[in-house]
Amino acid sequence: MRISVQEAVFDPGAELSGFGAGRADVGGVVSFTGLVRDDTGTLEALEIEHYPGMTERAITAMVEEAISRWELADALVIHRYGRLDVGAPIMMVATAARHRVAAFEAAEFLMDYLKSRAPFWKKEVTRAGESWVAAKDADEEALKRW
């Protein structure tokens, strides 16, 4: 497994290259990449704050749970902080498993937990000002399926 909490931009394609590949026990690899979206055409940047120390600790616990629950061959989580441009990658999850259903479920589990249980906070910076992104009830609800 690999976990990286970083300020630097990354290339999801380069990260996926070789992930879970060339081994006889992996039948499926799933990846999710989150990107900075601008719904209103006014977003200048997304600023992400996090809790150094707790972030890595919380993500490690989630990934370890996913690996044991879905018997993953490998798992990857990259999450950025700092100032991010529109269209840039925010974070990425990848899972490798014997079967596709396990790889999909584990990736969705990690996404749901990263959304609501990893200590990141997003702030939208627009020409009109800055505002903290509110957590959605639906994201908290999503945890109940696991």
Lookup: tokens for 6:
């970083």
Q: Residue from 87, 127, 137, 144 that binds a second copy (CB under 8 A)?
A: 87
Partner whose binding site includes residue 83, from a second copy, other proteins, none (CB under 5 to 8 Å by kind)? none
DSSP conformational letter for 41: S
Q: Locate tokens 């902080």: which residue?
A: 81
Beta strands in the chain (DSSP E): 2-6, 28-35, 43-50, 74-80, 82-84, 89-97, 120-126, 129-132
Q: By CB under 8 A, is residue 33 in contact with a second copy?
A: yes
- Selected range binding a second copy among 57-65, 76-84, 107-115, 121-129, rule: CB under 8 A: 107-115
Lookup: tokens for 130:
């800055």
Q: By CB under 8 A, is residue 133 in contact with other proteins?
A: yes
Applying CB under 8 A, the residues found at the interface with other proteins are 34, 49-51, 53-54, 57-58, 79, 90-91, 100, 111, 114-123, 132-135, 140
